Amino acid sequence: MKSRTSLSDDKLTALSLIYVSSLSLSIIGSFSVLVVTIIKRKPLNEQAKPLFQLALADILASLALIGSTIINFLSYETAHKSEVVCNYGLSLSLTFYCISFLLVIIYARESAHTAQGWRGQTEEEWRYHMTGAREDRRWILNLLYISVWIIPLIGYMIYIRTITLTQVPYIPSSPGSNDVSSSESGWANAKFCNSCILFLHLHIENGSCPMVDLRHRNFTRGFTFASVLGVLICCTLVYWRLQSWYRHYKQAGMFGAAPSHTGTIWSSARYMILVIIFCWTPAIILIGLSFAYSETDILFPLFVMQGLSVSLQGFLNSIVYAWRRRNFRTAVLGETLPLLYQAFFDQSLTET
């Protein structure tokens, strides 16, 4: 009888199809933003750099994850030989998702900095803030962007260098074995152990799949949980401070009677945070359950939700950070006025 700690071949195939279809949408969405930021770099001005890097991180994460998922469609013999590729691919996708999280935090901080600098100063002071002061900060930002990419990739190299893969084969009992049920169970367990699904092996009982490295499994739990929680806390604090700042200057009458700003500054910021919550809540729940619950068959609906949500991050980011914003669409359609002089960070947070 098949163990409840493993998924059937049909369920593994269904999960793989969900990942491939959803990741395809993310690749299309991120690629569209990537192309636009290259072609329309001049009208997009300073906004092109963070959008380009965010789209690049999302598309690389999607490509690494979809490449790992495709292994599940291979034959058992081929998939068994590709277990190294699976380990490298899944950890690489998490590395790029981590880079995407860090870029989201930088975007939030720069949004608040630019919007506050624009509203809190006179026109002459703001123009200096956007020229001279910006030049003083540019090298710091460039160094920050480099660190955002280099540090996680160094961590990834250290991680894969320390992965210990057992040489114990997963070949099931021979077809001629007297114990037929043991043979079928061994074959099913072998297929499950060599599957390549994100966070699936966190729920494997000790000894069920000898290839699973317990130390790295626990590291994956802590790393993912800390990354998601960290980006949520940082972005929430930044946008909360921005909202408090907005209310202060609104009460002081600095925004005048412009209806486009009334009650809308939190709108886009809320969507940016909701994207992270939507995409990673199922994964966080699965990680939490993995500490005390190993019956993956019962958790299959959660794995389906995770496959849909995590895979759509690139697609949703491309909508929230790019295509949903009116000034981004205006620049794409050929607006001659650069976004630099449209207070693009501020307007990105006030889009209704």
For residue 25, name the pLDDT band (cuts at 50, 70, 90).
very high
CA distance 180 to 174: 9
pLDDT tens digits for 76-133? 666 556 677 888 899 999 999 999 999 998 888 877 766 655 444 555 555 555 555 5
Q: Which of 186, 184, 218, 185 is nearest to 199 (CA)?
A: 218
Does 223 have pLDDT greater than 80? yes
Band the pLDDT of 17: cuts 50, 70, 90.
Answer: very high
pLDDT of residue 92: 94
Q: Could you read off the pLDDT of 130-172 as tens digits, one per residue?
A: 555 566 677 888 899 999 999 999 999 988 888 754 434 444 4
| pLDDT, position 346 | 44
Give SS3 for 26: helix
Q: Which of 69, 68, 66 is nearest to 31 (CA)?
A: 66
Residue ranges per structural domain of the chain: 9-350
Rounded-to-integer distance, Cα 25 and Cα 311, Å: 8
DSSP annotation string for 60-78: HHHHHHHHHHGGGGS-HHH
3-state helix, strand, coil in the chain (%, to 5): 75, 0, 25
pLDDT of 41 > 80? The answer is yes
Yes or no: say if 64 and 93 are a contact pair by the CB < 8 Å rule: yes
Is residue 28 a contact partner of residue 315, using CB atoms and an 8 Å limit? Answer: yes
Domain 9-350 fold: Rhopdopsin 7-helix transmembrane proteins (1.20.1070)
- Candidates 114, 328, 98; CA nearest to 230 is 98
Q: Is the pTM of this model over 0.75?
A: yes
Position 284 pLDDT exceeds 60: yes
Q: What is the pLDDT of residue 274?
A: 87
CA distance 90 to 95: 9
- The string over 168-197, giving b where at least 16 C-beta atoms fall within 10 Å of a residue's C-beta and e elsewhere, is eebebbeeeeeeeeebebbbbbbbbbbbbb
pLDDT digits (tens, 9 = 90+) for 291-350: 777 677 788 999 999 999 999 999 999 999 989 887 788 877 765 444 444 444 445 544
pLDDT of res. 32: 94
Q: What is the pLDDT of residue 178?
A: 45
